[in-house]
Chains A and B, each alone.
Chain A
Amino acid sequence: DGGITQSPKYLFRKEGQNVTLSCEQNLNHDAMYWYRQDPGQGLRLIYYSQIVNDFQKGDIAEGYSVSREKKESFPLTVTSAQKNPTAFYLCASSMAGFGSPLHFGNGTRLTVT
């Protein structure tokens, strides 16, 4: 079955620690994205990548970093510089082209205390 796998589903970290969220897709999609979801705020774009070894900042990139070394993988690191890291993080992918629907993973819920 083709799809997007995010791991782990739940993640707990202490304040001041960096943490990396995994995202793998086997849909052969060129583009991948990271969104953050907070209660009552919809989804906000953190980073996106259209091709391997290239990525762009979204609307709320501060305190986050990404890499795109392989087409299938787009890990997100939440650094200690992110002021409010506790949130639900969703990874997505899409085919190239304007208006291509996004396919989402199951998400990772990160709690930082």
Chain B
Amino acid sequence: AQKVTQAQTEISVVEKEDVTLDCVYETRDTTYYLFWYKQPPSGELVFLIRRNSFDEQNEISGRYSWNFQKSTSSFNFTITASQVVDSAVYFCALIIDYAGGTSYGKLTFGQGTILTVHP
């Protein structure tokens, strides 16, 4: 069975601090995708990034960066120079290839990390 662990339940920082959200996953499959979603107070989950298991390149998008390390089964998310608008719940999720490319949508989510950025 798959599992995603976000050990940090809540993180509180002051604006302009850097913050890293941890994500550790477990799966026996070699083909999978990892995702990060942001859930602001309005409720909807906003897709941030997708990474497949064969691509370990780190990615940077503005103030956001992601570090994928298969050796430690981790997919950590760093926000540089945090802002109040970054306050949200962040979810890491995993999907494995159940049936040769038809297993889309059956994501396994972590419990989420509540990030609060104070002015």
A: residues with CB less than 8 A from B are 31, 33, 40-45, 48, 50, 58, 88, 90, 92, 94, 96-107, 109
B: residues with CB less than 8 A from A are 4, 9, 33, 35, 37, 42-47, 50, 52, 91, 93, 95, 97, 101-107, 109-112
On chain A, the residues within 8 Å of B4 by CB distance are 42
Contact, CB under 8 Å: A98 / B104:
yes
The answer to whether A107 and B9 touch (CB under 8 A), given A31-B104, A99-B33, A102-B105, is no
A101 CB contact (under 8 Å) in B42, B47, B106: B47
A105 CB contact (under 8 Å) in B44, B97, B102, B105: B44
Contact, CB under 8 Å: B102 / A50:
yes
Contact, CB under 8 Å: A48 / B105:
yes
> Closest CB of chain B to A10's CB: distance in Å?
11
10 A-B pairs with CB atoms under 8 Å apart are A33-B105, A40-B112, A42-B91, A45-B106, A90-B44, A94-B104, A98-B102, A101-B35, A101-B47, A106-B44
Contact, CB under 8 Å: B101 / A103:
no
A42 CB contact (under 8 Å) in B33, B35, B50, B112: B112
On chain A, the residues within 8 Å of B112 by CB distance are 40, 42
On chain B, the residues within 8 Å of A40 by CB distance are 9, 111-112
What separation, in Å, do the CA atoms of A34 and B79 have in the docked complex?
29
10 extra interface residue pairs, beta carbon distance < 8 Å, beyond A41-B111, A43-B45:
A40-B111, A42-B91, A43-B107, A50-B102, A90-B43, A98-B101, A98-B104, A102-B107, A104-B45, A109-B43
- Name which residue of chain B comes closest to A31, CB basis: B105
On chain B, the residues within 8 Å of A96 by CB distance are 104
What separation, in Å, do the CA atoms of A104 and B107 have in the docked complex?
13
- Name which residue of chain B comes closest to A33, CB basis: B105
A94 CB contact (under 8 Å) in B9, B105, B110: B105
